[in-house]
Chains A and B, each alone.
Chain A
Amino acid sequence: DAGVTQSPTHLIKTRGQQVTLRCSPISGHKSVSWYQQVLGQGPQFIFQYYEKEERGRGNFPDRFSARQFPNYSSELNVNALLLGDSALYLCASSLGGSGRGRQFFGPGTRLTVL
């Protein structure tokens, strides 16, 4: 079975631009969560979606938004990019949305903002 997939692998943008990152969960998983990992730190929670509804949001500005599609894949959008948005963005999927299920992580998208 395929694991969690993310695209693109790497991305280079300039300040002020907008970016969209994509995630496909493991087949049968209905929950997708997004994390930001700045170099040298642990991942920070951005969003959780379950059954296409937002279930949780971390301490990130409104420039960050996400959505989940009927097939449970998800997109993370970041507007008006800042240098500080440069990070590895990780997607995780799980069966349920309540925290009961183990989370499985994708390989991440490395975003560089110049």
Chain B
Amino acid sequence: KQEVTQIPAALSVPEGENLVLNCSFTDSAIYNLQWFRQDPGKGLTSLLLIQSSQREQTSGRLNASLDKSSGRSTLYIAASQPGDSATYLCAVYPPLAAGNKLTFGGGTRVLVKP
């Protein structure tokens, strides 16, 4: 059974500092890994999706890496801003033909202080 863990559960940083968010998973047989942002009481906003054949994906200030062999992904947010305050969730996709069930981590709640 796939288990996804995000540590720490909460993080507080001053504005301008780089953010490093961690995601670990127990079964390396994944197809994709996706990072989401969730604002309080809202739905999920997709940030980056890394396919299993890729090692990283970048979009603006965001960079996500994937190491399947060690069961880890890291999301980097450069030069954090107060608007980056949110909960960040990672989710892994099962292998092909195993359906569409995403397994999510518990999330890391981020506060960027001005």
Contacts and interface: CB of A to CB of B under 8 A. Distances in A.
Interface of B: 4, 6, 31-32, 34, 36, 41-44, 46, 49, 89, 91, 93-107
Contact of B93 (A40, A48, A99): A99
Given A43-B89, A94-B100, 10 more contacts: A31-B100, A41-B107, A42-B89, A42-B107, A43-B104, A44-B104, A48-B101, A99-B97, A100-B31, A103-B100
Q: Is the interface of B mostly helix, strand, loop or mixed?
A: loop
Contacts, number: 82
Nearest to B105: A42
Given A42-B106, A45-B102, A45-B103, A98 B44 contact: no
Contacts of A44: 104
Interface residues of A, number: 31
A7 to B, nearest CB: 13
Interface string A83-113: 0000010101010011111111111101000
Contacts of A68: none
Interface in A3-24: none
B33 to A, nearest CB: 11
Given A42-B107, A90-B44, A108-B43, A103 B102 contact: yes
A107 B44 CA distance: 7
Contacts of A33: 100-102
A56 interface: yes
